[in-house]
Structure 1
Amino acid sequence: MRWRLKPETNPEITLKLAQELGIESTLAKLLVQRGIETFEQAKAFFRPSLEDLHNPFLMKDMDKAVERIETAISNGENILVYGDYDVDGTTSVSLLSSYLKTIHPTIATYIPDRYEEGYGVSFQGIDFAEDNDVSLIIALDCGIKAIDKVIYAKEKGIDFIICDHHRPGNEIPDAVAVLDPKREDCEYPYKELCGCGVGFKLIQALASKRGETIDDLIPYLDLVAIAIAADIVPITGENRVLAYFGLQIINKNPRTGIKAMIHQIEKNELTITDVVFIIAPRINAAGRIKHGNYAVELLTEIDFDTAVKFASEIEKNNNDRKDLDKTITNEALQQIEDNNEQQNFSTVVYAETWHKGVIGIVASRLIENYYKPTLVFTKSGDKLAASARSVKGFDVYNALEQCAEFIEQFGGHKYAAGLTLTEENYPKFKAKFEEVVKETLPEELRTPEISIDTEINLSEISPKFFRIMNQLAPFGPQNLRPVFMASGLRDNGYGKKVGADQTHLKLSIFEGTNQSTYNAIGFSMGDKYELIQKGNSFKAAFNIDENHWNGNTSLQLMIKDIQEG
């Protein structure tokens, strides 16, 4: 792995901030690295406030969206809340539909079938709206490229409001309102909202017209926090405020469906990391294995016993998803080996029997093995569908744009995208994508990188240091949990490989002449054992976390990599 130490911060600013806050210079340095240079900025960062949220009417077309919804309510129209089948989509639909139901009786929801309809707004969904006398569709987490679908709906007398956060194409759909902070003509101050975040801004705008305040909307923030965590958007600015208060709701007074999920996993307090790895996969599993409607039913259910039944079903879906994920990953790895493609610059694999619901997860697993921009294809109707995942620093969306001649349709982000193409174009696409990656992926991005915030002496690590550092949370993209490095380390002789297959490394380390020892664990790092044997000096990159064992709590270093030195 490549170690990259972040640039040094301005020493005068760092020292001044440390003195004003009464904290160690290492902690002040972490703040300055995150763009926090003054006492006032630090106060706002450590004490997020809902007052820091932007006026929703700064978003282009927000006034039009609110006016159309108010008209629909006044006229007693049927409204359909439409969203994608992933976590961001299902939480968005749950959020907006549950809010609208408090002010209007005829609200329906629609999640497209992953297999029959695919991603985004579908003709089938519009036909459903027509059959149910719906005159307004509000699309969430999708729709920014649904040019033809909006025209189709208009021909049937159905209006569209689009709430999306994906990058628009050259043309904006001719909807009543298109809310998307990534529109070039949108001056909304914060561009990194997830789909559910855009949905929240819509209910914030609607609420303000009804004399409600932001405090009335706090119960909806558990959904927003889950979407922020699951969609891997930056946890900065407005997202950080929403995630901060959303986590409080999740841990203190979550909606019934989330409470039922937490009840199943028996965990007391959830962090953003827990949401990413425990809550989000379960919500996602509904859309992957069965149907995204299951997730919406769970997230909008009011009766706890009913919610527990839904949660049990989703738990089973998640276990099925894990089995599929493991099987398909093994088959994909075998295919790469059989085709002798281990040395390619990209990974592109296909089998028509692979389950469409888990190909995105499999793509991520393959990156763990080969660390290359990756696409996993499967058969979907008469087309091939793929999930794309990328490595740090490489824009897979841009790479797909350069292969557009062979693609039917695609959409997504810098690090994750989806696409469809015809089977006959698969070999041509695969060759073109390999060529694009070969030409545009810089040498340094072909090796996994550890970005290190700062070097540290182990003697600086204390419960107080950890407590203050933890106030940088919630952690996530652009505000990651700090990574430290320390040199001149030695194991006290008790270091050993652990785990059923001896793949992990457990250490008790000290630094220089300081004989105080620090417990450390390195998951999947058993192969580094020789580096720490016989009193060898080494350096380590690590996070700091708490270890809870037998009722005791202690600090522990979570080793990310070890090198000689």
Structure 2
Amino acid sequence: MSLPPPRPVLGVAASLSGQPWAWRGGIVPGDGLDGRGADDLLQHLFRTRGADPADFARLKSPTLRDWLPDPSIFADMDVAAERLALALRRDEAIVIYGDYDVDGATSAAVLIRYLRSVGGKVGHYIPDRLLEGYGPSAGALVALKQAGADLVVTVDCGTQGFEALSAAKLAGLDVIVVDHHKAGTALPDAIALVNPNRLDEAAKAAAHGHLAAVGMAFLLAVALNRLLRTQGWFASREAPNLLDLLDLVALGTVADVAALQGLNRAFVTQGLKVMARRGNIGIAALSDAARLSRAPIARDLGFALGPRVNAGGRVGQADLGVRLLTTHDAGEAAGIAAELDRLNQERRGIEQDVTDAAMRFAGDAAAGCAVVAGDGWHPGVIGIVASRLKERLGRPAIVIAIQEDGTAKGSGRSITGVDLGAAVLAAKDEGLLIAGGGHAMAAGLTVAADKIAALAEFLDQRLAAAVTQATAHRHLAIDAAVAPRGLNAGLVDVLETAGPYGQGWPAPRVAAGPFQVVDARIVGENHLRLQLAGPDGGRIKAMAWRHGDSELGAALQGAGHGAGRRPIHVAGRVKRDEWTGGDAVELELDDAAWADGR
């Protein structure tokens, strides 16, 4: 006989946004946990994120020693390392061909910095997003060969580069592909294809399919370093410290929204420590430009540093990110960081215009996948806009910018449980796309404008069932519930111990109450700032981002006025208040509910 479902958290069966509050994963805190106090909460957080109890100890302090696999388990890894070692011995000209986003820039930077540190002659090539599009092109690879390149390593791209790699082989250019995007049954003609998402990958390697390309680039550096050591390469030179590259790995992993599980948790945990030492002057300059005055946390990589690196590829010069992350000149780093900061401001304005336009079309979008398109939309911001639509609609979204020549560039984002990358590859196989690829949570494509409607219908039919299943039991997942005074610095410290948080390892959401709304006002770009007070003396500041004009925001503002002021429960992420410092905390509010039973 099955047990009845647990009662809604704090009795909230329907919040102000119309959803129940339920314990994450259906696991009630205290149910079968070992230990006492803070350890209870930590183990609860691990369990609700699907961790194996045998991994609890190494999850608490993730290290490479505990999580790093032997790179040789990946298909073609040793072949790639051997070809690079040969290039070093022959003093060949190596070019790292990267994608124009953060994962591409950091992947390129990892290999460039490593290869230069061991005496390699290495440069980079980053295609222009608007003029060349995603991935390696035949023209660019042949031109690199003609300019003297002996070996090209593509990073964060290349798995679908069939035509380009065939042209490179014909021109006599060796190419290694280091990627993580979905592969089909056919593979491009490369010297080596290092990608955990190959269909022919062994189970142990395929288990690392959640790695970003920068993680695979680091593993290639590990494999090459080991090979060079056995070949006596370091007999007369100092071996580099590979751990110094982890700040780049952490940045690319978080910014590419890779699942923070397994090895990725070690990459980010240790990479943040390296970043705090400010050894990479490019990242240090970017942190200064972003006005980060404290040690970085995982959120900073996704919301402060990543968007600035991306801005070069979106609305500026494509290789600015790689140049910043590989320079050893402090003056150059400061100049590039300032330019990226300026471009990011420009990008935000363009993004808002496209978002507003896309939202107007979103109401008519299909249930399985929202596909919206517009003339004149800037292709550099469509990925961000797709993410905004996905958040607002609760289903996968693809935003398409139609070009003057009748082709269109699209970028998509998905929800947990719906594999968008596989659907895009299927659309390509059906002849609906000129090009396309991606992974479960994100994808890119090129489509003829007159096939957009057919593409939308295909994706809707393919994804509708998965979306229905993923959203069937919509609720707000809660990890802990406390009285108002329980929202304190001690709770924040315990929660941070189970970090870093991100995709696949969500930040804990805490429910608390009851509170009275003491003050509510609109601040900044349509955000709602609240001051909350509890009957036990607990007081806290709360921010409801982008809820200044939402129904939830209106209800919260109304709760603080008049004789009929109503108490509320709140739910969100509690963190230290960076503005006031000390032990003050604030809540990033996700939802609220009436606490008076009416």
Query: Normalising to structure 2: TM-score of the pair?
Result: 0.85
Contact 1:145 1:173 in 2 (8 A): yes
* Residue 540 (str. 1) matches residue 570 (str. 2): yes
Contact 1:350 1:376 in 2 (8 A): yes
* Deviations, residues 66-97 of structure 1 (Å, cap 9, x unaligned): 11111122222221111111110011111101
2:119 counterpart SS class: coil
Change (3 A) 1:155 1:543: same
Structure 1 match to 2:370: 347
Change (3 A) 1:62 1:259: same
Residues 2-11 or 246-255, more deviating: 2-11
One-letter amino acid of the counterpart of residue 562, structure 1: A
Contact 1:372 1:391 in 2 (8 A): yes
Task: From 550, 555, 569, give the equivalent of 1:528.
Answer: 555
One-letter amino acid of the counterpart of residue 141, structure 2: I
Structure 2 match to 1:48: 62
Residues 218-227 or 133-142, more deviating: 133-142
Task: From 388, 400, 410, give the equivalent of 1:377.
Answer: 400
Residues 431-440 or 215-224, more deviating: 431-440
Change (3 A) 1:312 1:45: same
Structure 1 match to 2:12: none
Residues 111-120 or 516-525, more deviating: 516-525
Structure 2 match to 1:68: 83
1:165 counterpart SS class: coil
5 Å-filtered alignment, 1:436-475, equals 436-438=462-464, 441-442=467-468, 445=471, 449-458=475-484, 460-475=486-501
Contact 1:490 1:532 in 2 (8 A): no
1:104 counterpart SS class: coil
Structure 1 match to 2:177: 162
One-letter amino acid of the counterpart of residue 371, structure 2: V
Matches of 1:296 and 1:358, distance apart in 2: 19
Q: CA shift at 1:202, angstroms?
A: 0.6
Task: From 536, 556, 561, give the equivalent of 2:586.
Answer: 556
* Residue 143 (str. 1) matches residue 166 (str. 2): no
5 Å-filtered alignment, 1:479-494, equals 479-486=505-512, 489-491=514-516, 494=518
2:97 counterpart SS class: strand
What are the ranges of 5 or more consecutive residues in structure 2 without an aligned counterpart? Answer: 1-16
Structure 2 match to 1:328: 354
Change (3 A) 1:426 1:468: closer
One-letter amino acid of the counterpart of residue 211, structure 2: L
2:555 counterpart SS class: helix
2:292 counterpart SS class: coil
State, as a whole percentage, how many aligned pairs show the same letter. Answer: 27
Change (3 A) 1:352 1:35: closer
5 Å-filtered alignment, 1:53-452, equals 53-187=68-202, 188=205, 189-211=207-229, 216-268=241-293, 269-334=295-360, 336=361, 341=364, 346-380=369-403, 381-401=405-425, 403=427, 404-438=430-464, 441-442=467-468, 445=471, 449-452=475-478
One-letter amino acid of the counterpart of residue 151, structure 2: L
Change (3 A) 1:75 1:352: same
2:572 counterpart SS class: strand
Contact 1:502 1:526 in 2 (8 A): no
Matches of 1:368 and 1:414, distance apart in 2: 16
Contact 2:96 2:111 in 1 (8 A): yes
Q: CA shift at 1:441, angstroms?
A: 3.0
Change (3 A) 1:127 1:50: same
Matches of 1:460 and 1:26, distance apart in 2: 13
Contact 1:392 1:445 in 2 (8 A): no
* Deviations, residues 515-550 of structure 1 (Å, cap 9, x unaligned): 544444433253222356645343322221111344
Contact 1:396 1:415 in 2 (8 A): yes
Matches of 1:27 and 1:458, distance apart in 2: 21
Q: CA shift at 1:425, angstroms?
A: 1.8
2:508 counterpart SS class: coil
Structure 1 match to 2:7: none
Matches of 1:502 and 1:104, distance apart in 2: 52
Matches of 2:136 and 2:364, distance apart in 1: 36
* Deviations, residues 298-344 of structure 1 (Å, cap 9, x unaligned): 1111110111111122122112111211122223334x28xx72686
Change (3 A) 1:120 1:342: closer
Matches of 2:459 and 2:276, distance apart in 1: 44
Matches of 1:27 and 1:262, distance apart in 2: 30
Q: CA shift at 1:446, angstroms?
A: 8.0
Change (3 A) 1:501 1:384: closer
Matches of 1:202 and 1:257, distance apart in 2: 23
Change (3 A) 1:447 1:14: closer
Change (3 A) 1:34 1:424: closer
1:201 counterpart SS class: helix
Query: Normalising to structure 1: TM-score of the pair?
Result: 0.90
Contact 2:418 2:470 in 1 (8 A): no
Matches of 2:222 and 2:386, distance apart in 1: 36
Contact 1:539 1:563 in 2 (8 A): yes
Matches of 1:378 and 1:238, distance apart in 2: 36
Matches of 2:447 and 2:168, distance apart in 1: 25
Q: CA shift at 1:433, angstroms?
A: 3.5
Instruction: Provide the aligned length of Structure 1 versus Structure 2.
Output: 554
Matches of 1:257 and 1:433, distance apart in 2: 41
Q: CA shift at 1:214, angstroms?
A: 10
Q: CA shift at 1:267, angstroms?
A: 1.4
* Deviations, residues 8-54 of structure 1 (Å, cap 9, x unaligned): 549888432x24xx63533432233245575x743322222221211
* Residue 28 (str. 1) matches residue 32 (str. 2): no
Residues 23-32 or 418-427, more deviating: 23-32
What are the ranges of 5 or more consecutive residues in structure 1 without an aligned counterpart? Answer: none
1:526 counterpart SS class: helix
* Deviations, residues 466-487 of structure 1 (Å, cap 9, x unaligned): 2122111211122221112246
* Deviations, residues 177-206 of structure 1 (Å, cap 9, x unaligned): 111112233232522110011000011111
